[in-house]
Amino acid sequence: MSTRTPDDTLSPEAAQEGWWHTLRRLAARDRYHERPWGWEIGLHLLRGERRWGVSYQEAARETGLRPKRLRTIVSVVRTLEVSRRQDTSGRDTLPFKVYEECQGLDQEAADELLALAEAKRLSARGVHRERRAREMRGARTALIASAPGELPAGVEVRHASAERLLADLKPGSVDAIITDPPYGRAWLPRCVDVARLAADALTPDGVLAIMLGGLGGEELDTITALRAHLPLRAVHYVVFDASNRLTKDWASGLRSQVKPVVVLGRGERKLPAVTNAIMVNETEKDLDPWQQSTEGFAALVERLTVPGALVVDCCCGAACTTGVACLRTGRRFIGGDSGERVVPVARARLVQEVAALSQAA
């Protein structure tokens, strides 16, 4: 019985050209979402690797798919047995992209996540969110365990709502309130409450800086309401200078490369800033879904305050990015968050940063 394939009847050049034609066709179908073609693409690439030594870079140029995605596809196909992805009738139990989301996990963690996806019928996006949530919980637990100790004088994190934290501060004692509150519509009126309380807590030259999720109609109305308590001094923009570091503009739903930071205050003293654009390249989301760039916030702290200043973040979150930025730039810091489980993580991150700075000194 013959075991020859159709390619065996062709010349080597014709067989390879036919292989490339099939790969381009599969990639086009995958790209235009006829249905996920990951299994077919992966098996086809494996054949090309074995026969002609085709590289991911070559395949990417021919298909328009990214080398990283092609590498992930092949990894899924190579490591996943058919029995793990198909039911007794031979049908796939989960979409290919769900298996892609489990790449890089150990066998036990991957099996657990795939079982959850099958039981709850999670989409690839749902699996991605669940994986990130598990990774963040693990990172938080590990951070707390690895960073015991007390914070130094001039640095603290309190368990309190934004309003309670600001109300408890000594009037006229704070040089800057720099915060990144939740972006939902429900929080916009609370931003106005923060401005009202900030008017009492700030020094005469102090500033309030609030990062917003965008500049839509409701955000502009909120800025108008903020100005009833403190004059508008500037709008700064945190700019993600890499095209693959896009964020979400919450006002429009569009993908964006900027986050606006509204700066208010009564003072007339010139701010240290010389430009309103803060360019950042890194993204950090290991402790909190809303975590911001430490690089960006360190630049923001330096543009709005001077060394030794007291900076407050009333929505510091688990990552406490403003606090880390203050430690790196020589500012005092008071943070607060209403999340009971968040505060120990924020404290641990600051303890870890203090230790790192001591070792580097």
pLDDT of residue 294: 93
Which of 141-145, 227-231, 286-290, 346-350 bottoms out in mean pLDDT, i.e. has the lowest?
286-290
Quick one: 94 and 183 in the same domain? no
**Mean pLDDT, range 317-323, rounded to an integer:** 96
Range of the domain at 17: 6-140
CATH number of the CATH domain containing 184: 3.40.50.150
Backbone angles phi, psi at 203, to 5 degrees: -70, 170
| 1 lies in some domain | no
| Residue 178 and residue 267 in one domain | yes
Are 67 and 116 members of one domain? yes
Confidence (pTM): 0.80
229 lies in the same domain as 351: yes
As for how many domains the chain has, the answer is: 2
Count the residues in the chain. Answer: 361
Residues 121 and 159 reside in one and the same domain: no
pLDDT(326) > 70: yes
Same domain, 119 and 188: no
Residues 289 and 322 in one domain: yes
| pLDDT tens readout for residues 18-50 | 999 999 999 888 777 656 688 889 989 999 999
Per-residue b/e over 204-235, b at no fewer than 16 CB within 10 Å? eebbbbbbbbbbbeebeebbeebeebbeebbe
90 pLDDT more than 80: no
Contact 283, 247 (CB under 8 A): no
